[in-house]
Each structure stands twice: as structure tokens, then as C-alpha cells.
Chain A
Amino acid sequence: MSKTNNRRSSIIQWVLSKVIHKSQLEEFLGDLEEIHAERATSSKVQAKLMYLIDAFHLMLGFSAIRPFKTQNNSLLMFRSMFKIAWRNALRQKQFTFLNLIGLTLGIATCVIIGLYVHDELTYDTFHSEGDRIYRINQPNIWGDWGTLSASTGPNVAVALREDAPEFEQVTRLLNLGHQTVTTGTTDTHSNAFKETRIYAAEENFLQVFSFDLLVGDSETLFSEPMNMALTWETAKRYFGQDIHAEEAIGRTVELKDYDGTWKTYTVKGVLANVPDKSHIQFDVMVSLKSQSEMMRAHGWKWIWTAFSTYGLVKEGTNVNHLTEKLQAIPPKWAPPTTERIFNQTFEEFTKGYLWKLDLQPLREIYISGSPSVHSFGPTGNPQFVKIFGSIGILVLLLSAINFMNLSTARSANRAKEVGIRKVLGSERKALLYQFVLESILFVLVGTLLAFGIVHLSLNEFNTLADKNISLLPHLSSPVFYGITLCFVLLLGILSGSYPAFYLSAFKPIETLKGKLSAGFKGKGIRNGLVVFQFTISIALIICTFFVQKQLAYTSSLDVGFAKDNILQLHNIEQFGFETEALKIRLESNSAFTKVGKSFGIPPNIWSGDRYKAKGSENVVQLNNIRTEEDYLDLLELEFITGRNFDSSRPNDKYKVVINEEAVKTLGWGDQSSFESNSPVGKILKLASGSEDEFEVIGVVKDFNFTSVRRKISPLVMIHHENDKVWDYGGGLSFYSMRLNPEAINSSQDLQFLIENLEEELAEVDASVPFEYSFLDQEFENTFRSEQRMATVLNLFALMAIVIACLGLFGLAAFTAEQRTKELGIRKVLGATVSEIVWVFSSEFTKLILISILLAAPLTFFLVDKWLEGFAYRTSIDLWVFVAAACTALIIAVLTIGYQSMSAANKNPALSLKDE
């Protein structure tokens, strides 16, 4: 038996040793261990579970039954308390049921959220030196200097190695973007794979990060050019499912270079599949030395910001001091680069901003989700974690309040019990224990049920939230048990204490006389709690409404061009730069009404450069896209003034079209001044290098080319044949086709068209992977995480309202019982059923109305804050509040309705006959 197992069960052993008599302890523990060892051979989890059950069973059986029956008074007491708790639970089935359901739902929701938050917060924790790894971030020197970028130039690492001995290791990672890889023979290049998770690593990569190397030598893996490492999954994908990892070593794989030539790499290592919870997600990793040609060719040592730089600091390093020290590095090392490339001094280049280097702890990279510029891999959203975390706590609070409310309410029925016990000589303390124990038992049962529910529903949740969370691994962690135990005790004592103190303080004479049930106290607190519950529920409902509204608003937002029915073909750059022949082929297809090429497609147009207006020294950052006239036509962009490129005018290739925003950014006025001072004919200059000049021939209305979340940025459209600028949008190009709705009117047609296209492209060049997308779907995808959040939020809001209603239902039932006589008398005196229903319901309706009044301003504030993060925000309309309030009111009235109807329909003769 392993050590950990012994440690795990030691808590149970300790408990057993307290409860079970010495003469039996030894044999029981022995039996438990023996049977556990046997069971553990088949299923560890089950063995642990059975150990727990058996131990618990023995505890129950023997603490009560045997030799010390007369010796140990407190155990006897304990047993009788159990018995009374059990009987009470059975006697009031409805309350027990409501209580348990509310608690279970609340705890289950809270546990699921807890697991989610835990999962989000523990990314990148599998690296053995993880707490000493930092990523070096720097300002986004190609755009807004005020924001950080997750990448640096290649020479930041060089400088760190030289100037910062605090780093044990510094390693760089180059994201190679999209690459075409083939394992076929050199002549055919068939069997091509498109790899999107491919990086170049330095030789010390594995000394910094703890990715498991299955086969290969970690020392030399990345030390030679043209070395390559694959993950196990990728190796199987390349060389067949039943290949052994060893057999992959030494095989060759070819990568298509940017110029269309093929380069041969040798597989030197196979890595275990990358854990899900890593921000570095790769399938293929080549040695950075393979890129040495490109690294040498560029003199851009500080401005080729494509490298992620990671540093492993020595133990005991003061990171704050180190960060301070690093700030001296860019001014010392970067000037030669800026002078050579831009002909600018360092100060001119930085425009007065600080070129700072920032150390970001590895663990925070995923969850902070920032800097978003040039980052890769999955990113978390700290906002979601905060929102979910607070919802979890709120829902738990709701169910705890429920529990408290129902317990105090039903306590009135137990007033007589308390009275009798007191008369018979029970101490107040014993009564206190009784109530606290009952509440702890309730919470315990609720928690166990909740774990069951969580386990069963996690699959669904994982699909919803796109996660891979499981409860089982936590079951072997002592911390988990510790937290659970603390939680059970805390919630049990907390929610049990109020009824406990309240009930145990009853004066026996009064309760036995029946005074208490008549003028039952504690109503104020209960009503307060109900108001609190409904305030939270209504607030959640309103928030969900607004999240939905915002999502609907943004997805229906006019992006400024006709985004529907556009099919996009990717990887066109691999057919070479000159693709007119391909275009003609596509145009001949009757399914397309328009075909256009571009070097970037919305919503992913990120490339940009520094420009200035001729005659001004003001340098501005403008996005750009290389494209042709047909693409602008295809998007149906609206020209405010000027014209599109014209293929019949050869000089057009050095001219540009800009958007409205660019006109404003360049200081050429706005639409109202176009008449008097037209931007058409004005000259735009590159702010670096040769300072080439481009004449503006047209201005288009603003359209959205990134995400709808962002404001529209200034954009320059460059002619695709313009050979004076070197912006090629990351080197990728695309053909977009507007579908002819007459030719394509069913999904089969579409399917058929796509299959045809694939064949057609394969005829041209089989080595180019076929990839397509739809423009409108790409826009939708930018909202996926919000949509996911909205679904999950809906679910939790539903939980909250269900729990609140359960509480209300219970309270209504209780009140109905309390007021039986009153309602009976009213009826005898001539009240109609509807009057009684009104009297009865209005008491609760008032509470709900107060909640609505409280929830409205609260949510207004929260929603307003949340919407601040959006460039285009939906309006905060009154009707949403009204709708949410009505929903809550209707649900509440329906909940109470059943009780009030049954109360009102009671025969007064029956309810008045006793006493």
C-alpha cells in the first residue's frame, strides 16, 4: 500500500479511533485495510469510496451498539440526537424535501462553479519550475505604445542573456503561423497537412518548460538546424495510427517555405501530447536554428516582434528589482536597429513612450487574457471567472438563506417539543446541539447529493462551457475533503445557529400554553431574507436579459458591408503571387457572382504600418489591407467620394483607397468637409524607409474589419500589385466569392459546390490544403465566448430563481399552516375565496415588489459597467426591467398561488373544530 493512501485514510482512522472502542479498533482497521487492498486492484476510486462507506457504517454501527453503551453518555446522547433528527425529517416530509432540494441545487451549482474557477486558475501549473518562469512583454511598438504586446524582437533574449545574470535560462519561441507540411515523397507532395500550431524553439526549450519527451535526447533535440519534434498525436497522424514512438525518429518531413520551395526536416523527438491546460499549444516544434537564414537576413533585431521570450529566473530573485533593472536594456540595445531601419533615433522612434520590458508570471498568462496583442494559445477571461465566482457565492447564499428560513419557519411546529424537553430537564445546550446537528446533517446529505448531481451533470456543463472538467481527480486530494468538511460544518453551523438559538430560548410555559404559535416572532428577519433572495434573483434575471440583448444587438449590428453569402478560400498564397488563371477559373463558375482577392479577410485584418499625411510630420498608425478592386466591389463597400481602383489604369497600382476613419486620423477633416476640401488627390506617405508617396483615389464608408467589439480603426487599402510596400498581411491571401443565391438554394447545393471546388483546386496544385470559411460565420465566432457565457449565465440565473421559489413555496406553505384558523374565521364571517387568496398572496407580493425596487438600481449599475467594455453597446431600456420584474412577480405569484388556493378552499369547519 502506498504512502499517500495511508495518509489519505488517516483522517478516517482518526475519526474511527475516537468513536470506536479500543478493543475493536484494531480488527476493524485491519479488515478495512485488507479489503481496500483487494478492491484497489480493480478500481482505486471505488476502493476509496467503499473504504469510506465501510468506515462510516462501522462507525454508525459500533458507536451506538456495543460495550460502552452504558459507559459513554455523550455517545448515547449523540445517538438519540440522530434519532430525533431522523424522525423530524420524516415527520415533515414536505419541508425536508424542499430543504434538501434547495440545498442540493445550491451546493451543486456552487461546486460546478468552483471546479470551473479552479480549472481556469490552474493553467500552466504542470511545469516543474513554473513559478520561476516569466514571459517578457513589451509595448506594442507597431501600434498603440500604451498597450502591451506578448512578443518581442529576437534580440531581447540576446540582451537579457548578456545583461541580466538573474536569468538562469532565456528561451525564445517563434510562432510559425500556418504551415503546409507533407510526409509524402518529394516529387508529389501529396498527403499534405495544414499545421496551425507550429513553433520554432531554442535548444534550451525543454530546460525551461516541462513538456514530456517520450523519445529523443532533450539536450540535442533543438540544437541542430532542421530538427523537428512532434507530439505523439501528430506523429500518429503523419505516420499511421499504429506507429511506435521510436519508429518516428529519423523520419523526414517537408515544410513548404514562404517562397514555395520545400525544406526537409528530420524528426528527432516525440513529445507527449500537450496538456490541455497549457497556454503553449503545439503539434509540431522545429529548431529555431532552422530559421537562421531569416534571422540573419533581417537587420530587424529589435523590431521583428514575432518572438515570445520566456525567462527562468534564478531561485530567490527579487522580480521587482529585476524588472526595474530591465528597463535600462532597450535604450541601450535598440538604437542601432531604429537608426538603421527607420533612420530615427531611439527617442524619435519611441515618440516619448517608455520602451519597457515587463515580466509576466507564467501562471497568469492564461487567466489574465492579456496582453492580447501577439499572444497565442487559449486565453482565459478574468471577467468570466469573477462573474461566475460571484454567482456561485450568491447561489450558495440563496440556498443557505432558504435553509435558514425554512428551518426557523418550521421551528414553530417544534415549539412544543422544545417545551416538553425543557420541562423534562433538558439543558439549553443540549437543545442547541440538537438543532445544530440537524442542520449539519442536512448540509452533509445535501452536499453528498450535490456531488452526485455534479458528477452526473459535468458532461453537459463541459459541452456548454467548452471545458474538460472532472470531479474524480479531486476525490483523491485531502485538500478537497478538508474544504468539503469545513464547508459542511460552516454552512451547517451558520444556517443552524439562528434557529438553534432562537428555538432553544423558548420559555416552556408559554410554548406549552400555545402562545408561541399564535404570535410567532422572527417574521421580520425572515421577510428580510426573502427580500434579499428575490433581489438577487431578479438582479440575475435582469443581467441575463441584458447579456442576451447585447449579444443580439452586436450580432445584428451592421458591419458596413454585405457579409452574408460570402465564401472564402484560404491558402491562396501557396498558389504563388500571380493567380489570375485561378481567378478566371473561379469566375467561370456560375455559382459565384463576384470573385475577389485580398491579403486578409475580415474580421481578421490586423496588419498595419506607420504613415503620415504629406506636409505633416505627425506619424499615425493605420491598418492596411492589400486587395484588388473586385474585392471592394464584392464587399459592396460604399464610396463616399472618389472611386475604386480601375484595372484599365495601370497607374492605379500605386494609389490607395482609405476609409472615413483614416481621413479623420490623417487630419483631413470629416465627411462634412469633403465638398470643400476633398481628400481625393491628397498624398499619403510611409513614415519609414523610403517614405514612398501614395495618392488617395477614394474614400469608403467605415466598415468593420476586426471585431464588432472594437471601434472601427483607420484603414488603407493598397492595390494588390503595389510593389513599393511590403505589407502582405502575414503573407496569407484569400479568394472571396459572393454566392449566387439562385444557383445555391439548399445546403446540398452548397456541399456539392464545396466538393467541386476542392477537386478543382487539387487539379491546380494538390499540395495546397483546401480550406474555406464563410464570412458571416467568422463574425459570429468572435462572440463565441460571450455566447457561451450567456448560456451558462442563463443556467445559473435559472438555478437562482428555482432556489428562491423553493424557499418562497416553503414559506407560503408554512404561513398557510400558521394562518389556518385566521383564514377559517374570515371564511365563517363571510369572506369569499378570492378575497382570502388576495389577503394571503398580498403579503408575499409586497416582498417581491420591494425586491424589484432594490434590484433595479443595482443591476443598472452592474450592466452599465459591463457594457463599458463594448464599443457598440445596446441601450439600457426600461422595458427590460419591467419584463424581468413581471417575470419574477408571475413566478412568485404562481408559487404562492397553490398554497393560497388550498388555504382558501379549506373547509372552515375542519380548521376550526379543534381546541
Chain B
Amino acid sequence: MKNKGLGEFEELVLLAVCILQGSAYGISVKKEVEKHSGRSILLGAVHITLYRLQDKGFLKSELGGNTEKRGDRRKRLFSITDTGMQQLRAAQEVRQKMWQFIPQLNPEA
């Protein structure tokens, strides 16, 4: 898989997984992203993104934690990999760097 950086939604999902620290699965990620971004998201979109991120090697996952509410089915818990963390940092840095060069925000430069 070529590493072409993160899409906006991918980044949000990745961040949500980090926040949730080991309890990240479809619904919890969906809620987290909805909470912070304020938009409503389809469950399927979250799943698709989670799997894509796993393909890119930014996430890893394992099955675990079944509850009555889910009809006794396990959930897949996602957590971030080192590459994923790097990628997230890199993305953040790129932005940070670019922000510095916005003239309106830097009147003296």
C-alpha cells in the first residue's frame, strides 16, 4: 500500500481510536467522532475506514468483549500501531508547519 498520508475522515477515526484507548470498536468510534465533529456518520463508513486503516498498517485489531446487548456477539477492538502514531504525528506536524506561514496570523512577519 502506498503511503499517501491520511484523509480527513481517516484522521478523525484514527484520533478517536487513540482517545478510546483499547475500547475502540465500530459504535464507540462512531460516537466519538460524532461527538467531536458534530456531524452524523453512518456506521458502515466507520467500519470501512477502520478496515482501510488496518490495511495501511495504522491500526491493529483483536476480537473480544461480548455483551448481552449485542446478542452475545463479540466486538472487534482496534488499537493504534506505531506506524499509525507516526503517521498521525506527521500529519499534525505538516499542518502545524503550514499554519506558521499564514501571513494573516503572523502580522509581524
Tell me, yes or no, whether B66 is within 8 Å of chain A by CB.
yes
- A contact residues, total (Cβ < 8 Å): 22
Q: Which residues, 312 to 337 on A, are CB-close (under 8 Å) to B?
A: none
Evaluate contact between A65 and B69: CB separation under 8 angstroms: no
Q: How far is the CA of A471 from the CA of B48 in the complex (A)?
A: 33
Given contacts A26-B74, A30-B75, A31-B25, 18 further A-B contacts (CB under 8 A): A26-B63, A27-B25, A27-B26, A27-B63, A30-B73, A30-B74, A31-B43, A31-B47, A31-B70, A33-B70, A34-B27, A35-B27, A35-B43, A57-B45, A60-B44, A62-B47, A62-B48, A66-B51
B48 contacts across to A, CB distance below 8 A: 61-62, 65
Can you name 28 A-B residue pairings with CB atoms under 8 Å? A24-B76, A26-B63, A26-B73, A27-B25, A27-B73, A27-B76, A28-B47, A29-B71, A30-B70, A30-B71, A30-B73, A30-B74, A30-B75, A31-B26, A33-B70, A33-B73, A35-B43, A54-B43, A54-B44, A57-B43, A57-B44, A58-B44, A58-B47, A62-B48, A62-B51, A65-B48, A65-B51, A65-B52
Q: How far is the CA of A33 from the CA of B25 in the complex (A)?
A: 14
Q: How far is the CA of A54 from the CA of B51 in the complex (A)?
A: 16
A26 contacts across to B, CB distance below 8 A: 63, 73-74
> How many A-B contacts if CB must be within 8 Å?
66
Evaluate contact between B45 and A31: CB separation under 8 angstroms: no
Q: How far is the CA of A352 from the CA of B69 in the complex (A)?
A: 74
Q: How far is the CA of A37 from the CA of B68 in the complex (A)?
A: 11
Tell me, yes or no, whether A53 is within 8 Å of chain B by CB.
yes
Distance (whole angstroms) from the CB of B68 to the closest CB of chain A? 10
A37 contacts across to B, CB distance below 8 A: 69
Interface string of B43-80 (1 = CB under 8 A from A): 11101100110000000000100110111011110000
Interface string of A46-66 (1 = CB under 8 A from B): 000000011001101110011
Interface string of B13-32 (1 = CB under 8 A from A): 00000000000011100000
Tell me, yes or no, whether B42 is within 8 Å of chain A by CB.
yes
Evaluate contact between A27 and B75: CB separation under 8 angstroms: yes
Tell me, yes or no, whether A32 is within 8 Å of chain B by CB.
yes
Q: How far is the CA of A29 from the CA of B42 in the complex (A)?
A: 15
Q: How far is the CA of A32 from the CA of B25 in the complex (A)?
A: 12
A27 contacts across to B, CB distance below 8 A: 25-26, 63, 73-76
Please pick, from B47, B66, B73, the residue contacting A61 in the complex, using a CB distance under 8 A.
B47
Q: Which residues of B contact A (CB under 8 A)?
A: 25-27, 42-45, 47-48, 51-52, 63, 66-67, 69-71, 73-76
B69 contacts across to A, CB distance below 8 A: 33-34, 37
Interface string of A284-316 (1 = CB under 8 A from B): 000000000000000000000000000000000
Q: How far is the CA of A54 from the CA of B66 in the complex (A)?
A: 20
Q: How far is the CA of A34 from the CA of B68 in the complex (A)?
A: 9
Q: How far is the CA of A54 from the CA of B27 in the complex (A)?
A: 12
Q: Which residues, 253 to 298 on A, are CB-close (under 8 Å) to B?
A: none
Tell me, yes or no, whether A479 is within 8 Å of chain B by CB.
no
Distance (whole angstroms) from the CB of B75 to the closest CB of chain A? 5
Q: How far is the CA of A30 from the CA of B66 in the complex (A)?
A: 8
A35 contacts across to B, CB distance below 8 A: 27, 43
Distance (whole angstroms) from the CB of A406 to the closest CB of chain B? 33
A62 contacts across to B, CB distance below 8 A: 44, 47-48, 51
B27 contacts across to A, CB distance below 8 A: 31, 34-35
Q: How far is the CA of A661 from the CA of B26 in the complex (A)?
A: 83
Evaluate contact between B74 and A61: CB separation under 8 angstroms: no
Please pick, from B43, B52, B75, the residue contacting A58 in the complex, using a CB distance under 8 A.
B43
B47 contacts across to A, CB distance below 8 A: 28, 31, 58, 61-62
Interface string of A226-244 (1 = CB under 8 A from B): 0000000000000000000
Tell me, yes or no, whether A483 is within 8 Å of chain B by CB.
no
Please pick, from A33, A57, A65, the residue contacting B71 in the complex, using a CB distance under 8 A.
A33
Distance (whole angstroms) from the CB of A108 to the closest CB of chain B? 27
Evaluate contact between B42 and A53: CB separation under 8 angstroms: yes
5 interchain residue pairs of minimum CB distance: A57-B44, A30-B73, A30-B70, A31-B26, A27-B76
Q: How far is the CA of A28 from the CA of B63 in the complex (A)?
A: 12
Distance (whole angstroms) from the CB of A34 to the closest CB of chain B? 5
A29 contacts across to B, CB distance below 8 A: 70-71, 73
Tell me, yes or no, whether A829 is within 8 Å of chain B by CB.
no
Q: How far is the CA of A33 from the CA of B67 in the complex (A)?
A: 11
Tell me, yes or no, whether A1 is within 8 Å of chain B by CB.
yes
B75 contacts across to A, CB distance below 8 A: 27, 30-31
Distance (whole angstroms) from the CB of A49 to the closest CB of chain B? 13
Q: How far is the CA of A87 from the CA of B47 in the complex (A)?
A: 26
Closest to A56 in B: B44
Evaluate contact between A34 and B52: CB separation under 8 angstroms: no
A32 contacts across to B, CB distance below 8 A: 43
Closest to A58 in B: B44
A60 contacts across to B, CB distance below 8 A: 44
Q: How far is the CA of A27 from the CA of B43 in the complex (A)?
A: 12
B67 contacts across to A, CB distance below 8 A: 34
Q: How far is the CA of A34 from the CA of B26 in the complex (A)?
A: 10
Q: How far is the CA of A26 from the CA of B72 in the complex (A)?
A: 9
Closest to A65 in B: B48
Q: How far is the CA of A26 from the CA of B64 in the complex (A)?
A: 11
Distance (whole angstroms) from the CB of B46 to the closest CB of chain A? 9
